[in-house]
Structure 1
Amino acid sequence: MQKKIAGRKKLSLNINRGDMWDEVTLKHLLQRKPKILYQGKSKYQKIIVLEAKDVRMYLDRQLQFSSLDERMYHEALVHPALSMASGRRNVLILGGGDGMAVREVLKYKDVKSVDLVELDPKVIALAKRKPISVLNNRSLFSKRVKVHLQDATIFLPSNAKRYNVVIVDFPDPSDKQISKLYTKEFLQVLTKSLAPGGIIVCQSHSTEDTPRVYWSIYHTFRSVGMNTKSYYTYVPSFGDWGFHVASYKELNPGRIKVSVPTQTLPKKITSLFNLPKQLLAKKKNAMPNSTKNLRLFRYYRLDKAKHKVPNID
């Protein structure tokens, strides 16, 4: 039974999908007795929205966003791809039920429709409610936006619409089930939804903590014949965070010019594509992810196992 909690209440957290820093930060925050805006379970996950000096959402103990720096993530996720796209009429967002990516997409007047595919109706309900609706500028109420409460693996094969830009904002591939969303086979279905010259951008986890995950996603895009460019940005809540843009057309990040207002992107967007040498050297350590060989969640666990959770008691 889901329940809304107004005020403070001790939390019972049994499910854990977060990494060590999520664990440490959440434990630290709970010791300070923050205001719990929402605590409950959906059909798919445990959800916590709390307010300290910022507003945060945790899904299965994994931090999804902090209001202090979420723009650093979402602006980097959205604007390079939309700026490189040959058209922006129709945009598809997979995941991203908090509405933050939608907020950034709606800045473009030539975007006529945004289809948001989100599995969890509770996340959508919270995104339409204060304080999250304030953070996302009530983006989910826009007439240009249509929310599909559906599994992406079911939505894509049954949808005939073609998209100029697809934004993949799935959860991190921490288990076998989520890892299937980053396979060669899934991408082969996803690319059928692209309009001619269409572009995909995919959040690809931490370049610092999980470089094999990052490069496996890159190699998976390449395995379906897509031209792929890699970039990253720094988000204080998460550290260095990686993305890939992919298309069957030629991609030239050097020509990126963002035509809408942003708050956190560098003046020269091309600087995001200048990967450190030590990261580039790790490209050879990963291979594509497929349903026949689900490497991605194994890479995730192996890389995470290298880090020990500090004791803050």
Structure 2
Amino acid sequence: MNLSKTSGINKLNKIWVDEYHESTRFGLRGKKILEEESEYQKITIFDSDRYGKALLLDHCWMCAENQEKEYHEAIVHPALTSAEKIEKILIIGGGDGGTAKECLKYNELKQIDMVEIDQKVIQLSKKYLPCIGGGCWEDSRLNVIIGDGIKWVKNTKEDYYDVIIIDSSDPKGAAKGLFNQIFFRNCHRILRTNGVFSAQTESPESFQEIHINAVKLIRSIFKYADPLYGNMPLYPSGYWSWTFASKKSQRYLHPIPERSSQIVSKCNIWSPRWQKGSFEAIPAQIERELKT
């Protein structure tokens, strides 16, 4: 078979997979590797031409091999470079392993409790997306709990974690209960006084109302909370947010120099300069809404 004919066959085998949102769609071309139903959701593994293998949950993009740093570095490093201590970390969600991998770059860290409700997400991520989690699954500091994150924070004793990271999907299905007052109050209760809370808080463009309400709710529970903005080309609008909070000050705005110097060379996206600009990049309309 000549090369031009082979190339034509390969193109015919390629498909587009799209995430649809309010008369828009966000897609990649490639090959679908598998699609399975777990107890909680539909899980799709897709091998894209542009970003490598990617994970979708209920037809929504979660992560891709060549575009996970934009998300995982943003949700982790503003918290871990600024909390007073980073010995005990809680991750709710994060079944692809990317958030845990970023946390485990810190030598001070002694324990991560990662509570993921869907064991199949972990299993398939380990098999098909091993570079996203890297060596996190073999690290003795990572304690994986298959269970409900809402129940976990409810039953955890007060002032237990130095950092809490909510690495959840959109607020629907199994993740719906992670965007409410009771859940955030329990996170506040189990976070240490000089700890930092971190959560993905949706797109200020595609999910503006959800984003604004989430930031306002976090601010109503933690004394200090601010959103950080960055690019996520894989997600609706390509524009995303993460919100950081603490009890006594805006400590998440100020990375500890000794920690930053140890971690910055290991990052593709995060740096103290990037972080400062991303906190300051709040759109004027969002800033006005948050003040009302």
| Interval of TM-score (by shorter of Structure 1 and Structure 2) | 0.7 to 0.9
* 1:17 and 1:60 in contact (8 A); partners too: no
CA distance in 1, matches of 2:271, 2:208: 23
Which runs of 5 or more residues in structure 1 are unaligned? 1-7, 286-313
Could you tell me how far 1:225 is from its partner in structure 2? 4.0
1:254–1:247 CA distance, 2 compared to 1 (3 A): closer
Aligned counterparts of 1:17 and 1:151: Cα–Cα separation in 2: 26
Number of residue equivalences? 267
**Other-structure match for 1:288:** none
CA positional deviation for 1:169: 1.0
Relative to 1, partners in 2 of residues 1:166 and 1:22: Cα closer, same or farther, differing over 3 Å? farther
In structure 1, distance between residues paired with 2:20 and 2:118: 18
Matched residue of 1:92: which SS?
Answer: strand
Letter in 1 for 2:267: T
- 1:52 has 2:48 as partner: yes
1:272 to 273, 278, 281: 278
Query: In structure 2, how many angstroms separate the alpha carbons of the residues matched to 1:225 and 1:104?
Result: 25
Superposition TM-score, scaled by structure 2 size: 0.83
* Alpha-carbon offset, residue 38 of structure 1: 2.5
Q: 2: CA distance between counterparts of 1:21 and 1:213?
A: 18
| CA distance in structure 2 between the aligned counterparts of 1:22 and 1:117, rounded to whole angstroms | 32
What residue number does 1:25 align with?
A: 27
1:84/1:251 contact within 8 Å kept: no
Letter in 1 for 2:247: Y
What is the CA distance between 1:56 and its match in structure 2?
0.8
User: 3-state SS of the aligned residue for 1:281?
Assistant: helix
Using a 3 Å threshold, how does the CA distance of structure 1 residues 160 and 17 change in structure 2: closer, same or farther?
A: farther
2:202 pairs, out of 202, 205, 208, with 205
Task: State the TM-score, normalizing by the size of structure 1.
Answer: 0.78
Identity %: 27
Equivalent-residue separation in structure 1 for 2:146 and 2:20 (angstroms)? 24
Q: How does 1:13-162 map to 2 (within 5 A)?
A: 19=21, 23-25=25-27, 29=29, 34-53=30-49, 54-129=52-127, 131-160=128-157, 162=160
Name structure 2 gaps, 5 residues minimum. Answer: 1-11
Amino acid at match of 2:150: T
Q: Please give the root-mean-square deviation of Cα atoms over the aligned residues, in Å.
A: 2.6
Q: Separation in 1 of the partners of 2:39 and 2:73?
A: 30
Cα separation, 1, equivalents of 2:92 and 2:214: 16
1:163 aligned partner, one-letter code = Y
**Which letter does structure 2 place at the counterpart of 1:144?**
R
